[in-house]
């Protein structure tokens, strides 16, 4: 059974994500099919624009098939893990380099791998229902799919904040920080999609429906507390903000994450500042293979996605107890 549907009409090729029971989480077959479709359409003069949509009313794409990756890790199948990530990152690179307008319509959850097939594209349209996040540190992993490239290029501290805490952004927030390019009301999305499918130019389709929106992200606080990739200093700053509810909330989010993953994430984002997307994806591939073999990954996925008790037992349990030699080994320094 295919979880990818495609249509072609009026110069528009549409890729429809159709795995609703899994919130369109990308399994190997979906990644391969989407990659081959985009390759074919890239050379097809009859197709001028690519549109990516979802059949799920509350999800664009919830990420990669992390449960399957965990099972490969438990079964001692590193080659299967490498094959999955190689295919996924190859797809992300293709989206980033795509020679034609690539439009993603995000009206719901877009996390992890879902951002890989949207944020790298030219046009990312969100609604007030959009929910965008990179929540990987909570499962003993790190923000991948090229996130170590695009997160460091967001406004001061925002990328590190998102990568470490897994904080969730709504549509207006995503536009404000540059993860999305346009905001459209959910009620207007069907008409917008209809116009694009009919061959109306993107500018003409968007102009009457897209308008500036206000975000209430605390950008000054984010810049104040999340501009230092030294986690000991970062956490110390938050702990010193006595009486600041937001700072305490951030400490709670960090407390839910794997301490090792937090250090790995900070190191990868720092390295990503001076790297190309291809270099970041290559570094992520190597780091991903290493971190998937750690106990924290199996335990994090178990707690969040398998048993769903949300009570992982990470080792070590605190940021200051993490062995920096292990962090450097995972990152590949």
According to DSSP, residue 99 is labeled S
According to DSSP, residue 228 is labeled -
Count of Cβ atoms closer than 10 Å to residue 251 Cβ: 15
What strands, in cross-sheet order, belong to the sheet with 109-111? 59-61, 109-111, 131-133, 169-170
Tell me the CB-side half-sphere exposure of residue 252, using CA atoms within 13 A: 7
Counting beta carbons within 10 angstroms of the beta carbon of residue 313, is it exposed (0 to 12), middle (13 to 18) or buried (19 or more)? exposed
Q: What whole-number distance in Å separates Cα of residue 221 and Cα of residue 114? A: 27
In angstroms, the Cα distances linking 145 to 114, 121, 141 are 9, 13, 12
What positions carry a catalytic annotation?
64, 113, 136, 144
CB-based contacts of 161, cutoff 8 Å, min separation 6: 167, 222, 225, 226, 250
Q: What whole-number distance in Å separates Cα of residue 40 and Cα of residue 57? A: 28
Rg, C-alpha atoms of the chain: 19
Tell me the CB-side half-sphere exposure of residue 194, using CA atoms within 13 A: 6
In angstroms, the Cα distances linking 222 to 117, 154, 227, 303 are 26, 12, 8, 28
């Amino acid at each position: 059974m295919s979880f990818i549907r495609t249509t072609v009409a009026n110069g528009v090729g549409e890729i429809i994500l159709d795995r609703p029971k899994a919130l369109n989480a990308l399994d190997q077959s979906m990644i391969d099919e989407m990659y081959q479709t985009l390759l074919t359409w890239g050379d097809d003069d009859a197709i001028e624009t690519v549109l990516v949509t979802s059949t799920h009313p509350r999800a664009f794409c919830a990420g990669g098939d992390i449960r399957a990756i965990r099972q490969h890790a438990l079964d001692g199948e590193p080659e299967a893990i490498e094959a999955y990530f190689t295919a996924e990152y190859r797809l992300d690179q293709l989206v980033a380099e795509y020679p034609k307008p690539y439009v993603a319509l995000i009206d719901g959850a877009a996390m992890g791998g879902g951002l890989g097939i949207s944020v790298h594209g030219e046009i990312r349209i969100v609604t007030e229902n959009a929910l965008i996040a990179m929540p990987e540190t909570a499962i003993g992993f790190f923000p991948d799919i090229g996130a170590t490239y695009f997160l460091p290029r967001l406004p001061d501290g925002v990328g590190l904040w998102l990568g470490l805490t897994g904080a969730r952004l709504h549509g207006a927030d995503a536009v404000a920080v540059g993860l999305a390019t346009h905001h459209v009301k959910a009620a207007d999305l069907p008409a917008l999609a209809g116009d694009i499918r009919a061959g109306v130019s993107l500018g003409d389709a968007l102009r009457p429906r897209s308008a500036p929106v206000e975000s209430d992200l605390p950008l000054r606080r984010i810049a104040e507390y999340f501009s230092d990739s030294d986690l000991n200093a970062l956490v110390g700053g938050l702990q010193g903000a006595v009486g600041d509810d937001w700072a305490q909330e951030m400490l709670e989010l960090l407390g839910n994450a794997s301490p090792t993953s937090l250090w790995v994430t900070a190191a990868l984002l720092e390295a990503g500042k001076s790297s190309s997307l291809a270099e970041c994806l290559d570094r992520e591939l190597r780091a991903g293979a290493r971190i998937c073999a750690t106990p924290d990954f199996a335990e994090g996925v178990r707690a969040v996605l398998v048993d769903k008790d949300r009570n992982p037992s990470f080792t070590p349990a605190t940021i200051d107890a993490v062995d920096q030699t292990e962090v450097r080994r995972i990152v590949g320094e």
